[in-house]
């Protein structure tokens, strides 16, 4: 993955992804936000991983919350 500045990542981390954020590829819940300049792309964990190598070459920020998928939830 290309080097992404801490400043770009910090800006992205300020707004957590919610259930309203949807994958630009398939419409599933987004867990990854990719910043490219002033634009953002949202991906589910599957499509984020699938496109990570190519996106990393142009991304200015990468915010990944896919670890939330492994968290256990108490009901």
Range of the domain at 12: 6-69
Question: Has residue 28 been placed in a domain?
Answer: yes
For the chain, percent of residues with pLDDT exceeding 70: 76
- Number of domains making up the chain: 1
CB 24 within 8 A of CB 42: yes
Residue 74 lies in a domain: no
Confidence band, pLDDT 50/70/90 cuts, at residue 74? low
* pLDDT higher than threshold 80 for residue 62: yes
Predicted TM-score (pTM) of this structure? 0.77
C-alpha distance from residue 73 to each of 22, 68, 70 (Å): 21, 10, 9
Whether 1 is covered by a domain: the verdict is no
């Amino acid at each position: 993955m290309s080097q992404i500045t801490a400043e770009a990542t910090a800006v992205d981390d300020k707004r957590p992804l919610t259930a309203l954020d949807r994958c630009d590829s398939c419409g599933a819940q987004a867990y990854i936000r990719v910043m490219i300049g002033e634009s953002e792309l949202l991906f589910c964990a599957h499509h984020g991983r699938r496109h990570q190598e190519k996106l990393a070459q142009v991304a200015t920020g990468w915010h990944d919350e896919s670890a939330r998928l492994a968290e256990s939830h108490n009901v």
